[in-house]
């Protein structure tokens, strides 16, 4: 974790075997010193969110001074005992997600604000880790927007085109900076529309990283992942609009655009074949 970001925005706390990095704004909000009377003691309900078999995700609420705040808690589970050994030499999954979120923010991308990250370390072994993020009130998963705007009326077409173009620009800019997202499926992108402008918040960032040079296979991987939407909701014209905006931020790909597009289309078709969206 960059030291300047840690020093400026996060406070490190030891609680037994837990090492916590807590955002200073949240610590101020949750100040429970005598006389502060900010914490109302209202927690929950805790709603379990579908996740992979190696993670648990809960949506929770916490009330301060009569105002309810929404949070998401992601607990990372070990895939095998070998995971515990690996984390002697590498950061935990929670810490990697935290660092990737800071990387994306520093480069002008949006992620759910990280409230806290925690590691349960016994000697050199990290046995558990979690990430706590704030909810984004008006954002919805990208696929919900795409399905909802799949109508043929002029308003739906215009909003869908604006969404697709801005998404192509955003992913293109990310790749132009050498950043590859770890799992860029539509369910890991939250979209928010404000005044006709679209903003995207990237989720599940533990495998997101920046490379000096972005290999072709990683570029294709992300482009296939983000296109995993059935043709009945996202047609050929919209896919081409996305690709044109993507190329605007990656002009060096211009001479290879046909080969790149063919590879992405072919692999996307293969993955969509027999897959119900």
Domain of 206, CATH number, reads 1.10.510.10
Residue 276: inside a domain? no
Q: Domain of 76: which CATH number? A: 3.30.200
Q: Is 65 left (phi over 0), alpha (psi -120 to 50) or beta?
A: left
Same-domain pairing of 111 and 153: no
Same-domain pairing of 38 and 157: no
- The 10 Å Cβ neighbour count of residue 42 is 11
Q: How far is CA 274 from the centre of its chain?
A: 27
Rounded to an integer, the average pLDDT of 237-253 is: 96
**In the chain, alpha helices (H):** 3-9, 24-29, 81-86, 93-106, 142-148, 154-176, 216-226, 236-248, 257-272
In this predicted structure, what is the pLDDT of residue 68? 75
Distance CA 4, CA 160 (A): 40
Q: Tell me what the pLDDT averaged over the chain comes to.
A: 86
* For residue 28, pLDDT beyond 60: yes
In this predicted structure, what is the pLDDT of residue 20? 87
Same-domain pairing of 96 and 9: yes
* For residue 248, pLDDT beyond 80: yes
Instruction: Determine what percent of the chain is predicted with pLDDT higher than 70.
Output: 84
Rounded to an integer, the average pLDDT of 165-181 is: 98
Contact yes or no for 258/215 (Cβ under 8 A): no
- How does pLDDT run across 33-63, given as a tens digit for each residue? 444 445 455 566 778 887 777 888 988 887 7
Domain count, the chain: 2
Nearest to 207 by CA among 191, 199, 194, 218: 218
Distance CA 47, CA 149 (A): 28
Helix axes of 257-272 and 216-226: crossing angle, nearest 10 degrees: 50
Q: What is the DSSP letter of 143?
A: H
Final residue in a domain of this structure, among 134, 168, 199: 134
Q: What is the DSSP letter of 212?
A: S
Distance CA 175, CA 173 (A): 5
In this predicted structure, what is the pLDDT of residue 29? 60
Nearest to 216 by CA among 261, 168, 186: 261
Q: How far is CA 8 from the centre of its chain?
A: 23
The alpha carbon torsion through 263, 265, 268, 269 (nearest 10 deg) reads -120
Which of 135-139, 200-204, 273-277 comes out lowest in average pLDDT? 273-277
> In terms of pLDDT, which residue wins out, 136 or 170?
170
pTM of the model: 0.87
Final residue in a domain of this structure, among 92, 113, 134: 134
The alpha carbon torsion through 79, 81, 82, 87 (nearest 10 deg) reads 90
**Domain range for 70:** 3-134
Distance CA 255, CA 265 (A): 17
Same-domain pairing of 171 and 260: yes
Tokens read off for 171? 């992913």
Give ∠ CA 72-74-75 in degrees, rounded to 5: 150
Q: Give the list of residues 6+ apart from residue 27 with CB closer than 8 angstroms, or none.
A: 11
Distance CA 225, CA 142 (A): 12
Final residue in a domain of this structure, among 107, 134, 161: 134
Distance CA 84, CA 90 (A): 10
């Amino acid at each position: 974790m960059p030291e300047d970001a840690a020093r400026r925005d996060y406070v490190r706390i030891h609680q037994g075997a837990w090492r916590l990095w807590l955002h200073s704004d949240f610590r101020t909000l949750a100040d429970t010193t005598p006389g502060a009377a900010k914490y109302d003691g209202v927690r929950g309900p805790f709603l379990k969110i579908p996740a992979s078999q190696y993670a648990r995700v809960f949506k929770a609420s916490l009330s301060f001074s009569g105002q309810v705040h929404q949070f998401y808690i992601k607990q990372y589970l070990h895939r095998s005992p070998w995971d515990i050994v690996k984390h002697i030499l590498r950061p935990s999954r929670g810490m990697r997600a935290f660092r990737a979120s800071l990387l994306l923010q520093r480069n002008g991308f949006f992620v759910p604000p990280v409230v806290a990250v925690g590691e349960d370390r016994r000697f050199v072994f990290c046995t558990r880790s979690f990430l706590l993020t704030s909810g984004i009130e008006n954002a919805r998963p990208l696929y919900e927007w795409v399905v909802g705007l799949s109508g043929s009326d002029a308003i739906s077409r215009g909003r869908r085109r604006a969404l697709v173009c801005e998404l192509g620009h955003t992913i293109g800019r990310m790749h132009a900076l050498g950043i590859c997202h770890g799992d860029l499926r539509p369910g890991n992108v939250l979209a928010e529309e404000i005044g006709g402008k679209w903003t995207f918040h990237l989720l599940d960032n533990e495998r997101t990283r920046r490379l000096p040079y972005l290999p072709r296979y990683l570029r294709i991987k992300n482009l296939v992942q983000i296109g995993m939407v059935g043709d009945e909701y996202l047609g050929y014209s919209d896919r081409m609009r996305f690709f044109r905006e993507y190329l605007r931020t990656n002009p060096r790909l211009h001479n290879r655009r046909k080969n790149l597009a063919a590879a992405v289309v072919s692999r996307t078709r293969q993955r969509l074949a027999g897959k119900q969206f």
